[in-house]
Amino acid sequence: MALPESSSTPSVFTPVALSERVFSFRDHAALWFSLGVGLLVMQIGAFLGTALGPRAAVVAILTGSLLGAALLAWVAKIGCERGLPSPALMCQTLGSSFARLPVVLNIVQLLGWSAFELVVMRDGTTALIKGIFGLEVAWVPYATALFWGLLLIALATGSMIGLVRRFVGRFGLPLVILSLLWISWQFLLKAQANGLQDFWNKPGDGSMGLLAGIDLVMAMPVSWLPLVADFSRYGKSRTSTFRGTWLGFAIANIWCHALGVLIVSTTAPDADLLATILLAQGGLVALGLILIDEMDNAYGDVYSGSVSLNFLHSRIGIRSWGIALAAAATACALVLPMHGLEPFLLMLSSVFVPLFGVIVSQLAMQGEATQRPINTVPVAIWLTGIAVFHICPAWWPQLGSALPSLAVTLLLGTAWRIARNKMPQAPQTNA
């Protein structure tokens, strides 16, 4: 089923028709499991294993994954209930004019993350080529980046619904699960050979506390908050959307983080994650399948970015914007030092973590939505959340940043919604 592509593309405030809502529980679970799998997640897990030790790292992974995936699923449920994409939810919360600011920032973020995913695939493919053919020349990274970029452009020309239902659910997901099972089995055998008791009791280096570890794990599911409604608006029911999103992403996030802990705890210090996987039996095939799955992440960024661009300029269809965004991401992956841009991309996350705390507090429980130019109080709560996100690491680093920011915006937003609903003329107040 193709997406709207003509100049008559419906307004961003027009809910998806019931006849087009085709995503079932299985579709949501497959999509978000696939999007939750990634080499970056394993690298974060490896960092947690080193900092906290396996025992505490597992606690952080379970807690952070379940909480973060629940928040992701909550926003997905709101998107399904209203049949609206993320830009519309931002408009209904912050105001139709002011919301353009976070929408533009989201486009910049998604372009950056699309390019970053291409760099991850470029580096992984380069490592595969070196492992298989022993080829290590300067042009290989450029060629591999161009290959993945062209594939991303090709995917952008197709139907998002068809990709999720036909490829991800039927073919991609089983292959990725098999690769994760194989890698897990190989390193579990290694942990058993070294002594499971020694592995479990291995101490961390103390560079991170448990709360900060939970906060870091939550960073992965909350990084998808600006995208989730773009997909969940095609859900058949809010219950299956919530459960599928939560279950799919939570399992993938737990599995990949835990796999990173397992790998780093059974290898020499400072070992490279990609090289370690490649050296495992069957590692070449398993890594190749994971790299193919990384394409889903890049596509998800491109699709959501094209929805936001369509909101800003609706005369150009979602598919055309997607092709242009994929081409721009490919160009960035070829010429920019993307690993150096990672701190900037992570900084942009500080905008969206508190933003979706406000969105959940205002739009949950069938809360009132408006299309005013600016909703002053929610905007003030959002800005407060951004300040908390940046202040906490400087003053209370043991607390992290996402958890305090979310707590503040959810509490303040809920208090404002309750107070607004008690006002005699609530629909006419400046919400």
Task: Give the pLDDT confidence of 142-152 residue by residue, as tens digits.
Answer: 999 999 999 99
Domains recognised in the chain with CATH numbers: 19-93+100-345 (1.10.4160.10)
Is residue 9 over pLDDT 60?
Answer: no
Has residue 354 got a pLDDT over 60? yes
Q: pLDDT confidence of 369, banded at 50, 70, 90?
A: low
> Whose structure tokens read 């400072």?
270
The pLDDT, as a whole number, for residue 4 is: 37
List 23's β-bridge partners, or say none. 235
Angle CA(267)–CA(122)–CA(248) in degrees, nearest 5? 70
Tell me the pLDDT tens digit for each residue of 36-65.
Answer: 998 889 989 999 999 999 999 999 999 999
Gap between the Cα atoms of 186 and 282, Å rounded? 9
**CA–CA separation, 207 vs 52, rounded Å?**
8
| Position 5 confidence tier, pLDDT thresholds 50, 70, 90 | very low
Cβ 402 vs Cβ 350: under 8 Å: no
What is the share, in percent, of the chain residues with pLDDT greater than 90? 50
The span from the CA of 364 to the CA of 381, in Å, is 16
Over 70: is that where the pLDDT of 427 sits? no
| pLDDT at 261 (0 to 100) | 95
pTM over 0.75: yes
Residue 316 has pLDDT above 80, yes or no: yes
Give the pair of three-digit tokens for residue 377.
Answer: 């109080």
Whole-number pLDDT of residue 429 = 46
**Exposed / middle / buried, residue 8 (Cβ in 10 Å: 0-12, 13-18, 19+):** exposed
Which of the residue ranges 4-8, 57-61, 121-125 has the most confident prediction, judged by mean pLDDT?
A: 57-61
Residue 344 burial (C-beta neighbours within 10 Å; 0-12, 13-18, 19+): exposed
**What's the CA angle centered on 161, arms 119 and 93, to 5 degrees?**
80
What percent of the chain lies above the pLDDT cut of 70?
91
- Region label for 83, one of left (φ > 0), alpha (ψ between -120 and 50) or beta (otherwise): left
Rg (CA), the chain: 21
Which residue type, as a one-letter code, is found at position 374? I
Q: What is the mean pLDDT of the chain?
A: 86
